Amino acid sequence: MAAKKKAVPRLQKVTSLEIAKPKAKAKPKAKAKPKAKAKPKSQAKRKAEGDLRIRTVNRLYYVDRHGKISYKVHPLVTEAMEASDPFIKAFRNPTYKAYKHANDVIAETILNDEPWDELSPVEKIRFILSINLSTVCLNGYATLNVDHIKQINSVIETIKTYTEDSTQQRPLNFMMLASPGAGKSHFINCIAARLRPYKVKAITFNMAGMQTSDDFISPLDEARNLKVEDNLPLLFLDEFDSRQDNYALLLPLLWDGGLYVGQRNLRLGKVIIVMAGSNPILPQTMEFARSMNAANPSGTNENPKLVDLFSRVNGGVINIPPLSDKKGNNDRLADKVCIAIALLKNRFGRNLEKVPLALLKFIARVDFRYDVRSIAHLIDLIPYQPKVTSLGIENLGLPMDDASKLKGSSLAYHLIHGDQALGVVNDWQKAKEYKDTILVEDLDEFRYMRPERLERILMPELLAAVGADLS
């Protein structure tokens, strides 16, 4: 068979005109004319138009007297940073000197007859920082009393050492001396929260309500369950001194960490026990137990079981000092103010920023029968307002404008005055002469932010909040 011929492609006819035609070149684009720079708006115009950028400028810099934005730190910011330096450092590395300084600042501000609005911005900031410093030692528990803070630190370190020592199998026992309403249960809960990394969990039991020893089974079983879950129980026994029969009941628990109740052997082993009492005879008996004297001092009736119980207290004594000012010293006047602010924030929310100065002055000057519990009762009488940021005197609604109303209210059970109801009413009327609201803003950022950012951002904002003019 003959091979097929390959197809020859046909030639396309191209005219001479197409050959001679050059390709069109793209025309170069005209250069865009630069836009004219808009004239900067004046500070007043930007504020009037609500320009958000002015807020950033005000936080980082300030406008000098010639109307120009200055890139230097405002002199008032520098002054506030220098005056607040001891407090700012104390947020990270607290010292007893800083606590004492903060205590004095609050006492001086509250006892001073000068209205809040007449204080300088730096003085206001020092007061706000002092309030915030009161919860640095133990989060959620407000105090600036140096002796009390030393005891708190000692208790925490003792418990830490006990938890880390695997050879310790006997209970760690503390004695707490505090008046009724001093906030003992809250204190224990705050200690347990602080020691959460060490798996410490609190159990509270009030021994005043015990009818028989069988009532003691429930808290001990709860403690045993915590140990099964690999936690270390902190057993808080409130009002252990309500009955003398409790002394003998507690002796084996404090020594061996175990107790026979009926037919049950309730064994705890390693456990933290805090016994709280308010009987005035406790300090006297404790002093006798320490005296190393075989004979009882004349005029005393020490219970031998109680003396034996004190000999098993191997952790130390926790003394919550009273808030009342019976001896004329004001060591806990600042604590009353800090506690009142903490209770107000707890009731009305963390957004509360301003409270009446009159209320704080009254709380600082008056004596409360049951310390923290009585202050909490007073604050609970204030009508609740959701999402409130500022409380004024008109919002309080307290029954202290008239002696008869005060006597007929539940608040009468919580206040103490030499002139009775009339004296309380007079103190309240004097306090109400101060119409100002005082700033009590939370400054948690001051605990973690670097000093240079504090100087550039937070301190200018805080100065503006207290009414300082940074223009």
Q: Tell me: pLDDT of 48 over 90.
A: no
Answer whether residue 37 is part of any domain: no
Read out DSSP for 151-191? HHHHHHHHHHHHHH-TT--SPEEEEEE--TTS-HHHHHHHH
How many other β-carbons are positioned within 10 Å of the β-carbon of residue 431? 21
pLDDT at 38: 57
Indicate if 154 and 277 belong to the same structural domain: yes
What global pTM score does this model have? 0.81
Round to whole Å and give the CA distance between 374 and 181.
7
Indicate if 334 and 435 belong to the same structural domain: yes
Answer whether residue 400 is part of any domain: yes
Indicate if 248 and 390 belong to the same structural domain: no
- The backbone torsions φ and ψ at residue 267, rounded to the nearest 5 degrees and listed phi first, read -100, 125
Answer whether residue 16 is part of any domain: no
Answer whether residue 369 is part of any domain: yes
Indicate if 164 and 250 belong to the same structural domain: yes
pLDDT at 23: 52
More confident site: 261 or 165: 165
Here the tokens at position 413 are 């059970």
pLDDT at 39: 56
Q: Please name the residues in contact with 254: beta carbons below 8 A apart, sequence gap of 6 or more.
A: 171, 173, 273, 309, 312, 313
pLDDT digit string (tens) for 317-344? 999 999 875 555 556 899 999 999 999 9
Q: Tell me: pLDDT of 49 over 50.
A: no
Residue-range definition of the domain harbouring residue 153: 146-319
Indicate if 157 and 228 belong to the same structural domain: yes
pLDDT at 14: 42
Answer whether residue 438 is part of any domain: yes
